[in-house]
Amino acid sequence: MSAHLSTEQINAFHEDGYLIVPGLFDAKEAGILQTAAKADKAFDEHAYNLADGEGGKAQLVLWNKAGENLWGSIARCERVVNAMEAMLGDEVYHYHSKMSIKRPHTGGAWSWHQDYGYWYQNGCLYPDMASAFIAIDPNTRDNGCMQVLNGSHKMGRIEHGRFGDQTGADPERVKPAMKVMDLVYVELEPGDTLFFHSNTLHRSDQNTSEVSRWSLICCYNTRHNNPYKASHHPSYEPLKKLPDSAIREMGSKMFEVETDFWDPAKDETVGAGKD
Q: Sorting pLDDT into bands at 50, 70 and 90, what band is 165?
A: low
Distance, CA of 224 to CA of 119 (rounded, Å): 15
Residue type (1 letter), 180: V
* H or E, element range at 87: helix 78-88
Please check whether residue 153 is in contact with residue 209, taking contact to mean a CB–CB distance below 8 angstroms: no
Q: Sorting pLDDT into bands at 50, 70 and 90, what band is 66?
A: very high
Given a cut of 80, is residue 166 above it in pLDDT? no
Question: Looking at residue 155, what is its pLDDT?
Answer: 97
7-258 architecture in CATH?
A: Sandwich (2.60)
Rounded mean pLDDT of 179-206? Answer: 97
Q: Sorting pLDDT into bands at 50, 70 and 90, what band is 255?
A: low
Please check whether residue 88 is in contact with residue 153, taking contact to mean a CB–CB distance below 8 angstroms: no
E strand intervals along 86-191? 92-102, 110-113, 129-135, 146-149, 160-163, 166-169, 183-186
3-state DSSP assignment of residue 119: helix
Question: Looking at residue 263, what is its pLDDT?
Answer: 34
pLDDT in tens, 144-159: 999 999 999 999 999 9
pLDDT in tens, 74-127: 999 999 999 999 999 999 999 999 999 999 988 888 889 999 999 999 999 999
pLDDT in tens, 2-38: 458 999 999 999 999 999 999 999 999 999 999 999 9
Q: What is the DSSP letter of 258?
A: T
Question: Looking at residue 163, what is its pLDDT?
Answer: 60
Question: Looking at residue 21, what is its pLDDT?
Answer: 98
> For the chain, which residues make up each domain, given as ranges?
7-258
Rounded mean pLDDT of 251-273? Answer: 45
Given a cut of 80, is residue 48 above it in pLDDT? yes
Question: Looking at residue 177, what is its pLDDT?
Answer: 97
Mean per-residue pLDDT of the chain: 89
Q: How far is CA 220 from CA 97, 203, 204, in A?
A: 9, 19, 21
Question: Looking at residue 266, what is its pLDDT?
Answer: 40
What pTM was estimated for this model as a whole? 0.89
Spatial neighbors of 266 by CB under 8 A, at least 6 apart, are none
